[in-house]
Amino acid sequence: MQPKQEIKSLLLLFGGQFTSNQESYGKSPFWILSIPSEDIARNLMKRTVCAKSIFELWGHGKSTEELYSSLKNYPVEKMVPFVHPDSTYKIKIHTFNKTLTQEEKVKRIDALEFLPFEGKVNLKKPQHTFSILEDYGLDPNCIPEKPHNIYFGRWIADGQRELIQSYSVKKRHFIGNTSMDAGLSFIMANHGQVKENDVVFDPFVGTGGLLIASAHFGAYVCGTDIDYNTVHGLGKATRKNQKWRGPDENIRANLRQYGLEKYYLDVLVSDASKPSWRKGTYFDAIITDPPYGIRESTRRTGSQKEIPKGIEKCPESHVPVSLSYHLSDMFFDLLNFAAETLMLGGRLVYWLPVYTPEYTEEMVPRHPCLRLISNCEQKLSNHTSRRLITMEKVKTFEDRDQYSHLPSDHFLAYQGHNSFREKYFSGVTKRIAREEKSSQE
Ligand SMILES: C[S@@+](CC[C@H](N)C(=O)[O-])C[C@H]1O[C@@H](n2cnc3c(N)ncnc32)[C@H](O)[C@@H]1O
């Protein structure tokens, strides 16, 4: 995943902008950003699950000498509110990819005595916390003697990483085979810029993993799924030691588990290929994980008439039948649906499965009403991945927009997704065969 996209979306949501002259976000765990105010920085940290902490940077360098001279150049008037005699403070050391002894840590703190700290040290409950951050790179097999970069700053806030544990699917009341991981659900809600009182919709809702994250941020949530049992919390249980789902295993109960029931609007049994909504713009965000046909089928409802020639049909043509739902049709429908029902400025966030050897950016579905905001990869295997696509509605939907993207090259490119399932399994089959062969050797 690319944390940069989460941070970018959140900064825009809170009135900031992602500005930095640093180019190595992917390679370094530390970033230097320009954020207009401390309030924006705090708001950002109330939401992010990708960033661990944020500091006001007082100095940095590639060596201790560079750090000290940078600190000496930091304007004293900016330090004064945090170092005056009535204040209490503490200095901490964070190292990335190396552990320091207590003695080494104390040495580093003592070396900062030139800073104008006049307050009292308080290790338990300081008013202000300062940190030295040392970056020893990403390779645990090649840890340099000296850090690549050293930073010193005033701690402002921590991010929301604990949400990954507190909302873990392992401890969730109602789960299914494809329940979305808690961390990714929060990242998706952040890409979708979900905020209080928004209405968020998931057309492939499953067990509602994505609704939970949006509700946590104060949005009212609803969804649809073609599977009656999933929507009604019936049928076989997913947990190993349980045969059938219990009486209250459903999405509403999941929200209740986290104290979020008041954000539950409803979930309906409905086929995403035939949305049952009246024309209108209802949603601030559509956040979803469509089926890829790997652990759940990609089906849609249809009538006997739609069954291709040569396949036996039943005499009653009104009986709905289950037809396979090609991935390209599914994404085409999803984009059209989002273009029609999102508010202007609303966001669509969804996963697009791709066969990596054949993937090109042209495959990402486009729509005249939706602007592509970001496209981040999550690897699934050596040859498959899924891309987290974020789009924003930038134009009011008109009837002529519905098919206008069909003749484009983009549409032809993403028809390649139809064979994702076969490619996925052929790759898996080959890998198993390879592994079996090597274990026999
Ligand atoms: C990847 S799962 C979604 C999992 C969900 N995010 C969760 O946290 O549980 C995809 C869901 O799409 C549903 N689905 C498949 N075809 C559908 C269709 N045509 N219309 C609506 N839902 C469909 C499946 O029943 C499945 O629950």
Query: What confidence tens digit (pLDDT) does each residue in 176-235 have?
Result: 888 999 999 999 999 999 999 999 999 999 999 999 999 999 999 999 999 999 999 887
CA of 390 from ligand 1 middle (Å) equals 19
Q: Is the pLDDT of residue 168 over 90?
A: yes
Q: Which region among 63-77, 172-186, 307-321 has the lowest average model confidence (pLDDT)?
A: 307-321
Please, which residues have CB within 8 angstroms of residue 368's CB and are 6 or more apart in sequence? 339, 395, 401, 404, 405
Which of 170, 185, 201, 226 is the pocket-test mutation for ligand 1 (most atoms within 8 Å of CB)? Answer: 226
Find the mean pLDDT for residues 407-419: 62
Q: Which region among 219-228, 249-258, 431-440 has the lowest average model confidence (pLDDT)?
A: 431-440
Find the mean pLDDT for residues 357-383: 93
pLDDT reported for residue 210:
98
pLDDT, tens digit, 9 for 90 and up, residues 21-30: 777 666 788 9
User: Rounded mean pLDDT of the chain?
Assistant: 88
∠ CA 354-357-360, nearest 5°, is 65
Measured distance CA(250)–CA(267) in Å, rounded: 10
Rounded CA Rg of the chain: 26
Q: Which DSSP string corresponds to 151-217?
A: EEEEEEEE-STHHHHHT-GGG-SS--TTPPPHHHHHHHHHHTT--TT-EEEETT-TT-HHHHHHHHT
pLDDT reported for residue 297:
59
pLDDT, tens digit, 9 for 90 and up, residues 33-71: 999 999 999 999 999 999 999 999 999 999 999 999 999
Q: Are 44 and 35 in contact (CB under 8 A)?
A: yes
Which of 296, 297, 323, 326 is the pocket-test mutation for ligand 1 (most atoms within 8 Å of CB)? Answer: 296
pLDDT reported for residue 243:
77
Other CB atoms within 10 A of residue 351 CB: 19
Minimum-distance ligand 1 atom for the alpha carbon of 230: 27
Report the percent of the chain where pLDDT is more than 70. 84
pLDDT reported for residue 339:
96
pLDDT confidence bin for 167, thresholds 50/70/90: very high
Find the mean pLDDT for residues 308-324: 56
For helices 209-216 and 182-191, the axis angle rounded to 10 degrees is 60
Q: Is the pLDDT of residue 8 over 90?
A: yes
- Strands of the 53-61 sheet, one edge to the other: 53-61, 149-158, 128-135, 88-96, 120-121
pLDDT reported for residue 432:
54
Q: Is the pLDDT of residue 10 over 80?
A: yes
Measured distance CA(74)–CA(61) in Å, rounded: 13
Minimum-distance ligand 1 atom for the alpha carbon of 325: 19
By C-alpha distance, which of 173, 174, 104 is closest to 136?
A: 104
Better pLDDT: 117 or 174: 117
* Residues with C-beta less than 6 Å from any ligand 1 atom: 176, 178-180, 203-204, 206-207, 209-210, 224-227, 230, 271-273, 289, 291, 296, 298-300, 325
DSSP-derived 3-state class of residue 1: coil
Q: Is the pLDDT of residue 19 over 80?
A: yes
Q: Which DSSP string corresponds to 336-399?
A: HHHHHHEEEEEEEEEEEEEEGGG--GGGS--BTTEEEEEEEEEE-SSSEEEEEEEEEE-S---T
CA of 79 from ligand 1 middle (Å) equals 53
Q: Is the pLDDT of residue 318 over 90?
A: no
Please, which residues have CB within 8 angstroms of residue 190's CB and are 6 or more apart in sequence? 6, 9, 10, 47, 48, 49
pLDDT reported for residue 26:
65
pLDDT reported for residue 435:
59
Q: Is the pLDDT of residue 156 over 80?
A: yes
Measured distance CA(112)–CA(135) in Å, rounded: 18
Say which amino acid occupies 332.
F
Minimum-distance ligand 1 atom for the alpha carbon of 295: 1
Rounded to 5, what percent of the chain is helix, strand, coil? 35, 25, 45
Measured distance CA(284)–CA(66) in Å, rounded: 47
Residue found under tokens 């984009």: 335
pLDDT reported for residue 405:
63
DSSP-derived 3-state class of residue 431: helix
Find the mean pLDDT for residues 133-142: 94
Q: Is the pLDDT of residue 96 over 90?
A: yes
